[in-house]
Amino acid sequence: MRTMTSEEAMTEGLAEEMRRDAAVLTFGEGTATKGYKLVGEFGPHRVRNTPLAEGIIAGTAAGAAATGLRPVIDLLFAPFMTFAMEELVNSAGKLRYISGGQFSFPLVTISRTGAGWAVGGQHNHNVEAWFVHAPGLKVVMPSTPADFKGLMKSAIRDDNPVIFFADIGLLHTPGEVPEGEYVVPIGKAAVRREGSDVTLISYAKTVQRCLDAAGVLAERGVSAEVIDLRSLKPIDEETILASVKKTGRAVVVHEASLTGGVGAEVAAIVAQKAFGALKAPVMRVAGPDAPPPASYPLEQAFVPSVERIVEAASLTN
C-alpha cells in the first residue's frame, strides 16, 4: 500500500470531499497560503485566508453551515480555540436544539495539539475533553494516517459539527493509506492488538505507546488488548465494554491532563457497565495537571511513557 503522512492524508481527504461536494469550502489563517494547491484546483472562493480572528472564523463556519455550506476551518493550535468557544459551543453545538431542530451545522474544525514541537503551553494543550462535554458536538482524534483521511471524510459528510484534533507528534510520520474512497465511521473504535489479560484504551499518539507497552507486557507473559478510540464523542462503549468484559482489566491512557480528561469518562463507563467483570482497579495514565512546558525534555516527560503504561497494567495484576 502507498504511504503518506497524516498531514498529507488529512489534506487528501479534504480535497476529495471538495471534489465530491461543491458545498465544501475551507478557510482559516493562512489556509490559502499553505493550501495553494487547493486554491489552484478549487479557486479562491472555496479556499480562503482569513483575518487573524478565531471567533469570527468559527462563527462564519456556523452561520454558513446553517445556510447550506459545509465549511472546514483550520484553527491552527488547540489553545487558540479558546477564542472560538462561544461560536463552537453556544452556536454550532446548541442552536439546532434551541431552534427546535430548524437548523443543522455541518462543519469541521481542525486544530493541532500535543507534544512534538516544544512550543509550550499556549500552543500545546489537549482540550478534547471540553468538547466531549459540550452538547451537539462530535469529537475525533485519529492516530494513523489512514484514520486521518477516513475520519476527515466522515467529519465533512456528517451533518453535525465535528471537532477534529490532530496530534502534532503524529503529523509528519508516514503510514499506509488505502487508495481510493476510504471512509472511517465516526463513533467506531479500532482494536489495534488483541489480548486477553488487560485492555489498554487510548487515542492519538499514546496508542503507539500502548502498543509498545503491550509488547513489553507480552514478554512478561501478559496479553494486552489495545483499543484506539479514534472518536471521543460519540465514544464506542460497545468495543470498550466487550474488551474489558473479556480481559477484566482496564488501563486508560492519554496525553491530556489527568483530572477531568477523557480517561475519566472511559473509566466511569467501565466502572459502571463492566463492573461485574472487573478483576482490578481501573487505572489511568495521563499527563500531569499542568500546562505542557516548552523545554523539550520536559515536554516529552509530559506524555505517558511506555514504562508508566506497563507499570499501571502490572498494578492491575
Partner 1 sequence: MTTMELAVDRSVTEALESMLLIRTFEEKSAALQAAGQSPTMCTSVGQEASAVGVIRALGANDLILTNHRSAGHLLARGADPGKIMAEIQGKATGYCGGKSGSLHISAKELGVVLTSTIVGGELSLVTGVGLSLQMSGTDGIAAVFFGDGAATEGIFHESVNLATVWNLPILYVCENNQWQAFVHRKETMLTDHISEWAKGYGIESRTVDGNDVEAVYAAAREAVEYIRKTGKPYFLETYTYRLRGHMEPDDQAYVDKNELASWKTKDPIGAYEAKLLDRGAVTRDELDAMRERATQTVERAAKFAAESPYPSFDQLTADVYA
Which residues of this protein are in contact with a second copy, per CB under 8 A? Answer: 79, 82-83, 85-86, 89-90, 93-94, 97-98, 120-122, 125, 127, 129-130, 132-136, 233, 235, 256-257, 259-265, 267-268, 270-273, 275-276, 278, 280-284, 289-291, 293-294
Nearest to 195 by CA among 183, 175, 174, 211: 211
Shortest Å distance, C-beta 135 to a second copy: 5
DSSP-derived secondary structure for 259-275:
TTSHHHHHHHHHHHHSG
Q: Which of residues 70-129 bind partner 1 (CB under 8 A)?
A: 71, 79-80, 82-83, 86-87, 90-91, 95-106, 117-123
Put residue 76 in one of left, alpha, beta given phi > 0 → left and psi -120 to 50 → alpha.
Answer: left
Measured in whole angstroms, the distance separating CA 134 from the mean position of its chain's CA atoms is 15
Which of ligand TPP, a second copy, partner 1, none is residue 268 near (CB under 5 to 8 Å by kind)?
A: a second copy
Which of 269, 148, 143 is CA-nearest to residue 211?
A: 143
Please name the residues in contact with 27: beta carbons below 8 A apart, sequence gap of 6 or more: 47, 48, 49, 50, 57, 60, 61, 71, 73, 74
Should residue 178 be labelled a site residue for partner 1 when binding is judged by CB under 8 A? no
Residue 58 is a binding residue for ligand TPP (CB under 6 A): no
The answer to whether 270 touches 240, Cβ cutoff 8 Å, is: yes
125 is catalytic: no
Cell of 102: 430548524
With contacts defined by CB under 6 A, name the span among 33-41, 75-83, 229-237, 265-273 that binds ligand TPP.
75-83
We find the least distance from the C-beta atom of residue 99 to partner 1, in angstroms, to be: 5
* CA pair distance 233, 71, nearest whole angstrom: 20
Q: Which listed residue (27, 80, 203, 302) binds ligand TPP by CB under 6 A? A: 80
Q: Is 117 among the residues that bind ligand TPP (CB under 6 A)?
A: no
Regarding 61 and contact with partner 1 (CB under 8 A), the answer is yes
Between CA 138 and CA 89 the distance in angstroms is: 11
- The one of ligand TPP, partner 1, a second copy, none whose footprint includes residue 61, by CB under 5 to 8 A per kind, is partner 1
**Residue 99: which of partner 1, a second copy, ligand TPP, none does it interact with, CB under 5 to 8 A by kind?**
partner 1
Q: Binds 281, which of partner 1, a second copy, ligand TPP, none (CB < 5 to 8 A, cut-off by type)?
A: a second copy
Q: Is 43 left (phi over 0), alpha (psi -120 to 50) or beta?
A: left
- Cβ nearer to a second copy, comparing 226 with 270: 270
82: nearest Cα among 291, 295, 286: 291
Rule CB under 6 A: is residue 52 a binding residue for ligand TPP? yes
Question: Rounded CA gap, 92 and 50, in Å?
Answer: 19
Residue 272 binding partner per list partner 1, a second copy, ligand TPP, none, with a CB distance cut-off of 5 to 8 Å that depends on partner kind: a second copy
Tell me: does residue 305 bind partner 1 (CB under 8 A): no
At 112, is the secondary structure helix, strand, or coil? Answer: strand
Q: What residues act catalytically?
A: 123
Q: Which residues bind ligand TPP (CB under 6 A)?
A: 29, 52, 54, 76, 80, 83
